[in-house]
Amino acid sequence: MRRYAPENQIPVRFGSFEQFEAVQLEESHRPQTGGTKGEFTMAHDVQAYGKFCITHGIINDGSQDDRHNADLVLNYFENTWKEVITAETLERALPALRPHLKFKSKARVEFEKVAAGNPAAAHQLGTWLDTQGKSGQLVNTGDDMFENLSLLLGTLGGYEISTPRIADAIDRIQNRPGRKLHYVPTPRKTQPTSRAALEDDGKPFVTDGLTLQRDGSLGKSPADYAREARQRSDRDAAEAASKRSGVSAQSAAAHEAQRKAENLRGNTHSEDAQLGRIVVFFPGTSEINWPDTLAARLNLQRSLNKAQEVRRFIR
């Protein structure tokens, strides 16, 4: 079964807002070319099918589900019903096609309606959400992503899309009745974490290390105590040296991450400002976590660069 497939099409299963937005942009600029009956290549076929999909929430975005839908409709019209594809015949065929078509989820449809009222804010919020997705942060994939975007965009209203405003919106959502935001679960600890628990071999410890003394009792000789003291002293010295080395390495890594984060630049002054506003703090403190801040800014920089490439492509 033949079907028009534009060059550089982005077939995705939406794993992030960035991917969703790129497909939406690419889909809105598809060209229309001539063809034969039974193919989505005639202008009237493309327009009729596009409106049909929008009206009924049918997936038509270049993804695998889209290709399934297009092949199903084309096969039905070309081989089963043998009718020309028009707006009227598509509506008449819907009852027979419906059980086999792939539809947009309710979460995605809801977000598209909310985003239509303020596309610029939806883009900014989606770019911010792409920096989330780690344990304990907001989910930024699948239907949970669309639900998070709808809740946040509706709560923010006409306010600017900035980290402080988003934090305020999150606080309001989590402290009011109704739907809540979706977070990436934090893995539960299923094993003991103390050193003694991890090293426990199950052997009795009451008599461990004791030897038979001259008087017939179990105990330790002065030599045993002296040897243990030396071992304890050596172990403590090694641990202290290791900690000093670790702190020094962490400090150097943090300084290097700060330098790189502060030197990141976008393509415009506006993008420079967006990058500079991305800051990640250590939980419960006002101290900046520079390695995580650098990672978040790099994610945003990649999103901005990709958006610029898309805009350059469609000019």
CA atoms within 13 A on the CB side of 238: 6
**pLDDT (average), residues 126-136:** 92
- What pLDDT was estimated at residue 205? 55
Terminal CA-CA length for the chain: 31
Strand ranges in the chain using DSSP code E only, listed in sequence order:
211-212, 218-219
CB 20 within 8 A of CB 84: no
The residues spanned by each domain of the chain are 17-100, 110-174, 207-254, 264-293+304-315
pLDDT digits (tens, 9 = 90+) for 150-191: 999 999 988 889 999 999 999 999 999 999 999 999 887 666
Query: Is the model's pLDDT at 129 over the cut of 90?
Result: yes
DSSP assignment, residue 218?
E
Burial class (CB in 10 A: 0-12, 13-18, 19+), 242: exposed
- What is d(CA 225, CA 67) in angstroms, rounded to the nearest whole number? 77
66 vs 46, which has greater pLDDT? 66
Percent of the chain with pLDDT over 90: 37
- What is d(CA 171, CA 161) in angstroms, rounded to the nearest whole number? 15
- What pLDDT was estimated at residue 99? 95
